Chain A
Amino acid sequence: MNARNEFDELARRKLEERQFAFDEAAWLDVQRTLATERRRGGAWRWWTLTGAAMLLVGSAIWWNASDNDAATVLPLSEVRSLEKDSAATATAERTKNVATEPEQINGPIAPKAIEKAADVPAASTERLHQPPTTNVARLAEVPSLPSETERNMNSNAGEVEAQGIAQQPVTPSTLDGDPQDDTMRPAANTAQSRTGDATEEPNDVITVPPTILRDTTTQEGEIVDIAIATALQAGQREAQVEEDVNTTGVEEPVPASEEIPVVSVMINEETPPAVVPSTEVNATGTADPTVVNDSAGTATATPPPPPLVDAQSPWEISALGGFFLSNSNYSGGNSDQWKGDVDPLWAPGFGAELMHMGRNWGLGTGLHFTTYAEQLNVAERSVTETFTLDTSYFQPTPMMILVVVDVVELNGQTYYVTETHDTIINVLTRSTMTTTTDRVLVQARDQVNRVSYLEIPLLLDAHLVQGPWSLGLRGGPTLGLLSGRRGAVPNEALDGYTEFSEQQFSEVVFGYTARAYIRYRFSDAWSFGVEPAIKGQLGNGLSGVDLARRNTAFGGMLSVSYRLR
């Protein structure tokens, strides 16, 4: 080893000889930082989960809303009207086999009829091209719809027209009409057209009993009369329906037994679809694909979907229960010294809510019982005090000394005569006296603290419904009323504990609650849900001291909801 390396080695040894006393304060700093990071980590996880849930539900709501823009979902009354159409057509199919002769409606269409057919409103001709589809499938093709009231009225008017026509007296002679007569179909179309004008809805379906059609073929001059009479009756019935709508707001369903078995001649499966070019239909711009009066496919038509939210039952009550991991954040009052010893703890939470639910939004309130719990695990805290005292004293040390007792000169030489003497000499000595004292600052304590509140929330709800499933977010501010407390925390002097029963608490604390939910409707009124939630307090739970306590809690609840009828 050369000299330089020896120097390095000596320096290394010298520095490693250093001793460092343990610093309790430094550990407290570390503990504080660890507690802060733990809380941050926990909060980050929960906020991430909550954010993801909100993003998911928000996206779903947006998707649902955009889907509604593309294809308007029919309201309940429209669906009922479609059901009636389907039922009427199916009945007509059955009637056709009994009361009409198949060749009367299956015959070829003469050129003259084709020419007249081109004059009829587009809705009538379009139906020639409509493939047999289900009502549900056709709904998606609706580009735009008139208002619900108009649709109900027009739909009723169409039915009433058919009934009005059916109620016309039919003489036996009308049954003798030539079913192959070219004027038959145009006449029907004309009547249909005029009836449509009378109801201001050219797209409406006019279903004409075959007997009437045969009648019109024999007396063409009566066609106009029948049509006008039909229109007048339809107009009267329309006014009646409008009055009904205005008074009740809801269309009364027509019993199936009262429906007239009708057959629309325009819905003939054997009618060549090339009679009217499709471009003609498009050119009219009045085609109304919502008319689903075709008989084809109606026998196996799927039932219309149930309404998403029935306007008659907006009120919903819910019962909730679950567990929350609550975390208490203390500040002030020397809490930095011990708040790292407070750990989150699970506690139960219950609630009941009453909500007024709309299609996608809701508003309501409720009553929640929340317990914020924490585990206080304070280790015994002591301080080691070391006192050092440097002292100097005389240390008696036995020694032997040489003493010169005489001087003798011999032959010019000087000789010293000596004697040895044993003696004791006091040697000045320095020493350091060290005194170490351990002093207990806080006794160890391991206990559970619980503070309970009755919380009254103001709840806003955003949700969407997809079949029996509901996804939503619900939350809002809360008003917490203190209902119970138990436990203790170290006091401000850090020499003992303050029991919660002796600690002054705020009787009212403002807070918040938010949760995401997914619910499954297992009957018309009842649904069951799983609801991850977060709640907390915005204000200080304590009063009258420097110490502040704010609670947050994360957890999940199960819910049972009932939609009032």
Chain B
Amino acid sequence: MVTETLIGRCAKEETRAQYELYRALQPMMMSICSRYERNKQDATARMNQGFLRILQNIGKRRPEVPFEPWARRIMINTVIDEFRKDRTRKVNETLDAPTERPTCIDVNEYLRDMETEAFADLLLRVPPMSRNVFNLFAIDGYGHAEIAAMLGISEGTSKWHVSNARGILQDALATLAIPSNTSAIR
């Protein structure tokens, strides 16, 4: 539990308080970073980077701003900033027309019963740019205009990436769901 007292102690650079804050925020931070990064090492490095940013700016936060959303936003910005630094990723992606697949209710049903880690692994199959845009839009709740500004792309491109990621995920889920359904029929 992050209290204002704890935040105040962190602002005074108390090591013990920083440790407690790190423990409290670690699940949230790691949850974000592991969605955007390919492996655990990168996710941990990004999480630490974001936590340092939080500590550096903790004294500047206005008390009326809820702490956790504020910290969450810093963490997402950290991840996106790092992503933007790596320009080579953008070059490798082409904007082909997203594969349109008919929405299958069974896919959603399958997803509902699916193991969490299995879906997280599935998400890593999505190309980085599309994955990040999907994360920002579907998971973190950003609008296309915000995403476009954050990543330096157009809103249309942002929409394309969301659609592309969604298509890839649904396709993968459908592939996984078919044997299961088949065996059920049998």
Interface, chain A (partner B; CB < 8 A): 3-4, 6-8, 10-12, 14-20, 22-23, 26-27, 29-31, 33-34, 37-38, 340-341, 377, 379
Known interface pairs A3-B103, A11-B111, A15-B120; A27-B34 also in contact (CB < 8 Å): no
Q: Cβ of B18: which chain A residues have Cβ within 8 Å of it? A: 30-31, 34
Contacts of A379 in B (CB 8 A): 16
Partner of A12, one of B34, B52, B108, B139: B139
Q: Mark B15-33, 1 if CB is under 8 A from A, else 0.
A: 1101100110011001100
Partner of B123, one of A8, A15, A26: A15
6 CB-based A-B contacts, threshold 8 Å: A6-B108, A8-B138, A10-B108, A11-B123, A15-B116, A18-B34
**In the complex, A289→B140 CA distance in Å?**
86
Distance (whole angstroms) from the CB of A98 to the closest CB of chain B: 83
Name the 3 nearest CB pairs between A and B, nearest first: A8-B138, A20-B30, A3-B103
Q: Is the CB of B166 within 8 A of A7?
A: yes
Structural contact, A14 and B111, CB atoms closer than 8 A: yes
Q: With A6-B108, A340-B15 in contact, do A34 and B44 touch (Cβ < 8 Å)?
A: no
The answer to whether A33 and B48 touch across the interface, beta carbons within 8 angstroms, is yes
- Chain B interface residues (CB < 8 Å from chain A): 13, 15-16, 18-19, 22-23, 26-27, 30-31, 34-35, 44, 47-48, 51-52, 55, 103, 105, 107-108, 111-112, 114, 116-117, 119-120, 123, 137-139, 166, 169-170
> In the complex, given contacts A22-B26, A34-B55, A340-B15, what are 20 additional A-B residue pairs having Cβ atoms less than 8 angstroms apart?
A7-B169, A7-B170, A8-B138, A10-B111, A10-B112, A11-B138, A12-B138, A12-B139, A14-B119, A18-B120, A20-B26, A20-B27, A23-B44, A26-B48, A27-B19, A30-B51, A31-B15, A37-B52, A377-B15, A379-B16
Contact between chains at A27 and B31 (CB < 8 Å): no
Q: Please, how many angstroms separate the alpha-carbon atoms of A33 and B22 in the complex? A: 14
In angstroms, Cα B21 to Cα A31, docked, is: 12
**Residues of A with C-beta under 8 A to B166:** 4, 7-8
Q: How far is the CB of A88 from chain B (nearest CB, A)?
A: 72
Nearest-CB residue, chain A, relative to B112: A10
Total contacts A-B at CB 8 Å: 87
Q: How far is the CB of A183 from chain B (nearest CB, A)?
A: 92
Contact of A15 among B13, B15, B31, B51 (CB under 8 A): B31
Q: By CB atoms of chain A within 10 A, which of B19, B116, B169 has the most?
A: B116
Nearest residue (CB) in B for A38 is B13
**Complex alpha-carbon distance, A385 and B123, angstroms:** 30
* Docked complex Cα distance between A7 and B18 (Å): 37
- CB of A102 to closest CB in B, whole Å: 83
On whether the beta carbons of A7 and B111 are closer than 8 Å, the reply is yes
Residue of A nearest to B117 (CB): A18
> A30 near B31 (CB under 8 angstroms)?
no
Note all chain B residues with C-beta closer than 8 A to A33. 48, 52
CB of B38, distance to nearest CB on chain A (Å) = 15
Residues from chain B with Cβ under 8 Å of A341 in the complex: 15
CB-defined contacts of B107 to chain A, threshold 8 Å: 7
Closest to A16 in B: B31
Report the nearest A residue to B104, measured CB to CB.
A3
User: In the complex, what residues of B have CB within 8 A of residue A340's CB?
Assistant: 15
Chain A, residue nearest B102 (CB): A3
State whether A20 touches B34 (Cβ < 8 A): yes
Q: Which residues of A contact B13 (CB under 8 A)?
A: 34, 38
CA distance A377 to B27 in the complex (A): 27
A302–chain B nearest beta-carbon distance, Å: 57
Contacts of A20 in B (CB 8 A): 26-27, 30-31, 34
Distance (Å) between the CB of A211 and the closest chain B CB? 88
Residue of A nearest to B165 (CB): A11
The smallest beta-carbon distance between A44 and chain B, in angstroms, is 15
Docked complex Cα distance between A411 and B44 (Å): 78
Least CB distance from A379 to B in Å reads 7
A15 engages B27 (CB within 8 Å): no
The minimal Cβ–Cβ distance linking B106 to chain A, given in whole angstroms, is: 11
Distance A15 CA – B30 CA, assembled complex (angstroms): 11
B35 to A, closest residue via Cβ: A15
Residues of B within 8 A of A29 (CB): 44, 48
Q: How far is the CA of A23 from the CA of B18 in the complex (A)?
A: 15
Evaluate whether A11 and B16 lie within 8 angstroms (CB atoms) in the complex, with A26-B47, A33-B52 already known.
no
Q: Closest CB of chain B to A36's CB: distance in Å?
A: 11
Do the beta carbons of A15 and B105 come within 8 Å of each other? no
Task: List, in ascending order, chain A residues with CB within 8 A of B55's CB.
Answer: 34
CB of B70 to closest CB in A, whole Å = 19
- Cα(A259)–Cα(B181), bound, Å: 129
The answer to whether A15 and B26 have CB atoms under 8 Å apart is no
- In the complex, what residues of A have CB within 8 A of residue B34's CB? 18, 20
Instruction: Check if A27 sits within 8 Å of B105, measured CB to CB.
Output: no
